[in-house]
Amino acid sequence: MMMTGQTHGFVLWFTGLSGSGKSTLTNALAPLLRERGLRVEVLDGDEVRTHLSKGLGFSREDRDTNILRIAYVAKLLARNGVAVITAAISPYRATRERAREQITAEGVPFLEVHLAASLETCEARDVKGLYAEARAGRRPGFTGIDDPYEPPEAPELRLDTGVQSVEESLAALIRLLEGRGLLPAASEVGA
């Protein structure tokens, strides 16, 4: 089942509010891409904060630094043939554009995917109680409550994960990647 000769990687950049489905879709998509023969790495925002960005807070400057670190690692992996999925809120449009520029300057395809679930949907999904803490003033600077989330103006794909099922979202992602020539059709794998 392994595709041989994957020569180029890409960056699939998931952005959206906490609870919009970034990790859920990442965890569902990564194994599908591996089944199609791609080498895949995931850069999850929470894990990056724990391992690469420990010590950073949630000021705008610290958030920008965190996102640009993710972009740097994604670029290194992708230019070495890895399909990279990033799952980070990345709330600021200008910083996402800087990430795009940093990655595409190396000739690496960058596909921004906006997970556009409403704030109400994200709050309803919040099993950790983060939104409730933010509304109670115990989590200052929380994106979507007292810090802005700037949605992308022209993402390669917008998924309304409050309405679309995981399966529907995955199908749209697969179509996007196949349409860009970044993923072999299922019929080509192992041929």
CATH code of the domain containing 119: 3.40.50.300
Question: For residue 123, what pLDDT is reported?
Answer: 94
Q: Catalytic site residue 169?
A: no
Q: Is residue 146 part of a domain?
A: yes
Domain count, the chain: 1
Provide the b/e sequence for 13-25 (b: ≥16 CB within 10 Å): bbbbbbbbbbbbb
Question: For residue 2, what pLDDT is reported?
Answer: 42
23 is in an annotated binding site: yes
Q: What is the pTM of this model?
A: 0.90
Q: Is residue 188 part of a domain?
A: no
Mean pLDDT throughout 103-113? 97
Q: Is residue 159 part of a domain?
A: yes
Highest average pLDDT, of 41-50, 94-103, 140-149, comes from: 94-103
16 is in an annotated binding site: yes
Question: For residue 109, what pLDDT is reported?
Answer: 98
Active-site residue, from 53, 59, 90, 118: 90
Confidence of residue 189 (pLDDT cuts 50, 70, 90): low
Q: Is residue 127 part of a domain?
A: yes
187 is in an annotated binding site: no
Supply the angle between the helices 60-78 and 93-104 in degrees, to the nearest 10.
Answer: 20
Domain limits at 81? 10-183
Q: Is residue 93 part of a domain?
A: yes
118 is in an annotated binding site: no
Q: Is residue 64 part of a domain?
A: yes
Taking all residues of the chain, what is their mean pLDDT, rounded to a whole number?
91
Query: In 36-111, which residue ranges form alpha helices assigned H by DSSP?
Result: 45-51, 60-78, 93-104
Mean pLDDT throughout 72-92? 96
Count of residues making up the chain: 191
Q: Is residue 4 part of a domain?
A: no
Q: Is residue 190 part of a domain?
A: no
Question: For residue 190, what pLDDT is reported?
Answer: 56
